Amino acid sequence: MGSCLSSETRSPLPASPMGVRKRKGSRSRLGSRNPSFDFKRDEQLRKTPGRIFLNGSSEVASLFTQQGKKGTNQDAMLVWENFGSRTDTVFCGVFDGHGPYGHMVAKRVRDSLPLKLSTNWEVNIKSDEVLREVSLNGTGSRCSEDTSFLSPDESARASIDLEETEKRPEVFRTLKESFLKAFKVMDRELRMYSNIECFCSGTTAVTLVKQGQDLVIGNVGDSRAVLGTRDKNNSLVAVQLTVDLKPNLPAEAERIRKCKGRVFALRDEPEVARVWLPNNDSPGLAMARAFGDFCLKEFGLISVPEISYRHITDEDEFIVLATDGIWDVLSNEEVVDIVGSCSTRSYAARMLVESAARAWRSKYPTSKVDDCAVVCLFLDSNPNDSTAPSTEFKENIASEEQYDTDKKDDPFSPTGLDRSGTVRTSEWADGGESEETSGANDEVALDNEGTNMEVGKEWSALEGVSRVNTLLTLPRFVPNKDNKKAGGKTG
């Protein structure tokens, strides 16, 4: 579904890119990243063994992303085997960008967050005594600037989480602190980028680290992780591992309202609660936590992840990480059944994305299909399955290497990006997208696309995306009146 929405006014709002550039007294960002440094780091990352971020598969995972009907594919994904130079460890993540620069934010978080996590993990392993002292001090280490945003319910839950943490293995205590620090530093770094505007653009992130039989998950936003496991009758069942952190959750809505943000749904989509600025009908963000989106960070939006743990058993078969383009149209049970019924594991992620695309056309024929990204991580070995990297994955790597030879000095500068001819414009066939366009969602398309807006045009992520066919009923903000009198519905 759409992630954010600006009001219908033609004048630039504080939440719009134009409004950001025209703010009085604005100062250039200090410590902005050097594009040449980013390019060298990206080159090194692409050559890292065991790191997969394009459509394809490995011995333990299957990945696939497909562009929807909105324009640039803003989803990103990653599987990194031997993570942190540990042979028994794998990192997985999917990232759903939103806003005019959402695809850039998602890609940047995909590339930078695992490095920050690995660095913090290594430091924490070497500082066990310090970590234990931090754990005894409670969850105050959770991003000092964010602790004031925690509601009473969240504070009570935090104390319970501390007790649960003490019962977990050492790897969880170490990784939990590493996740919290890495997410905090990642969000701060996004604010410093001069070539990626994150004021009203951002991304979700559902990530996991699997070390041996221990699984630790860090989640921000409304992407989701679901486990496929066997019950006592040997039937394949779905277990949801994360919570969709949306504004309709009471604790999330309470925190946002406490910080003067507004939460309500549009009349035409009463089931989708959104976050709005106090004095403007924008941006209408459909999640309560996200990287970026700094226009809302002072009004209750946070980037603090929910951290969870699971000990993997012999009954657990696979984990599916996916963006909301999957979960909007398929249930947890349907997703697990689709992956479980796939005879070839290397094709599992693509089969799931194609099933979701058909469900979009069936359930919401007047809406544009959302971008989809899926990572299927298989927990048990199956030597009889075809797990070698797929031909499609090899072709995407080749096309990216060819693109890199023609890359401009500043690949992330919005003003230096051309629209790619790989963007799909034809309608879907019954069996999914055509062969000519199957690679339109790879890294080449992400780098070439640029922004989803014309200069001076207000950003509206809901335009043609969600079930809303008109914006005429957008509630107007009226000072000194509550949301109901202003025409809005609270979420």
Q: Does residue 203 contact residue 95 with C-beta atoms inside 8 Å?
A: yes
**246 closest CA partner among 227, 263, 258, 233:** 263
Mean pLDDT of 127-134: 58
Instruction: Specify the pLDDT at position 43.
Output: 75
Instruction: Specify the pLDDT at position 204.
Output: 97
Residue with tokens 């023609």: 406
Output phi, psi for 98, to 5 deg: -150, 155
Q: Looking at the predicted structure, is the pLDDT value of residue 158 above 70?
A: no
Q: Does residue 62 contact residue 94 with C-beta atoms inside 8 Å?
A: no
Mean pLDDT of 188-210: 93
Instruction: Specify the pLDDT at position 2.
Output: 56
Mean pLDDT of 48-67: 94
pLDDT: which is higher, 158 or 133: 133
Query: In this predicted model, what pLDDT tens digit does every residue of 19-44 receive, in sequence order?
Result: 444 344 444 444 455 656 566 777 77
Q: Looking at the predicted structure, is the pLDDT value of residue 170 above 80?
A: yes
Q: Looking at the predicted structure, is the pLDDT value of residue 319 above 80?
A: yes
**Which letter, b or e, does each residue of 261-293 get, where b requires 16 or more Cβ atoms within 10 Å of its Cβ?**
bbbbbbebbeebbbbbbeebbbbbbbbbbbbbb
Mean pLDDT of 322-336: 97
Q: Looking at the predicted structure, is the pLDDT value of residue 336 above 60?
A: yes
Instruction: Compute the distance between CA of residue 292 and CA of residue 188 in angstroms, rounded to an integer.
Output: 9
Confidence of residue 337 (pLDDT cuts 50, 70, 90): very high
pLDDT: which is higher, 454 or 104: 104
Instruction: Specify the pLDDT at position 45.
Output: 81
pLDDT: which is higher, 37 or 232: 232
Instruction: Compute the distance between CA of residue 256 and CA of residue 276 in angstroms, rounded to an integer.
Output: 9
Q: What is the mean pLDDT of the chain?
A: 74
Q: Is 376 helix (H, G, I), strand (E, B) or coil?
A: strand
DSSP letter string, 326-344 = HHTTS-HHHHHHHHHH-SS
Instruction: Specify the pLDDT at position 49.
Output: 85
Instruction: Compute the distance between CA of residue 4 and CA of residue 8 in angstroms, rounded to an integer.
Output: 13
Strands 89-98 and 202-203 turn out to be antiparallel
pLDDT: which is higher, 184 or 151: 184
* 49-103+190-421+436-490: CATH number: 3.60.40.10
Q: Looking at the predicted structure, is the pLDDT value of residue 9 above 70?
A: no
**349 closest CA partner among 29, 2, 60:** 60
Residues 6+ apart with CB under 8 A from 263: 247, 253, 256, 257, 273, 274, 275, 276, 490, 491
Q: Looking at the predicted structure, is the pLDDT value of residue 223 above 90?
A: yes
Sheet strand arrangement including 283-285: 283-285, 273-276, 262-265, 489-490
Report domain extents, the chain: 49-103+190-421+436-490
**276 closest CA partner among 291, 293, 368:** 293
Beta bridge partners of 321: 225, 375
Instruction: Specify the pLDDT at position 330.
Output: 97
Q: Looking at the predicted structure, is the pLDDT value of residue 221 above 80?
A: yes
**Which letter, b or e, does each residue of 180-215 get, where b requires 16 or more Cβ atoms within 10 Å of its Cβ?**
bbbbbbbbebbeebebbbbbbbbbbbbbbbbbeebb
Instruction: Specify the pLDDT at position 426.
Output: 32
Among 93-102, 200-209, 329-338, 395-404, where is mean pLDDT lowest? Answer: 395-404
Instruction: Compute the distance between CA of residue 277 and CA of residue 293 in angstroms, rounded to an integer.
Output: 11
Through-space distance between the first and last CA atoms of the chain, rounded to whole angstroms: 16
Instruction: Compute the distance between CA of residue 410 and CA of residue 417 in angstroms, rounded to an integer.
Output: 9
Query: In this predicted model, what pLDDT tens digit does every residue of 264-295 receive, in sequence order?
Result: 999 988 999 999 999 988 999 999 999 999 99
Q: Does residue 252 contact residue 246 with C-beta atoms inside 8 Å?
A: yes
Q: Looking at the predicted structure, is the pLDDT value of residue 357 above 80?
A: yes
pLDDT: which is higher, 18 or 338: 338
Among 170-179, 192-201, 459-468, where is mean pLDDT lowest? Answer: 459-468
Instruction: Compute the distance between CA of residue 62 and CA of residue 382 in angstroms, rounded to an integer.
Output: 14
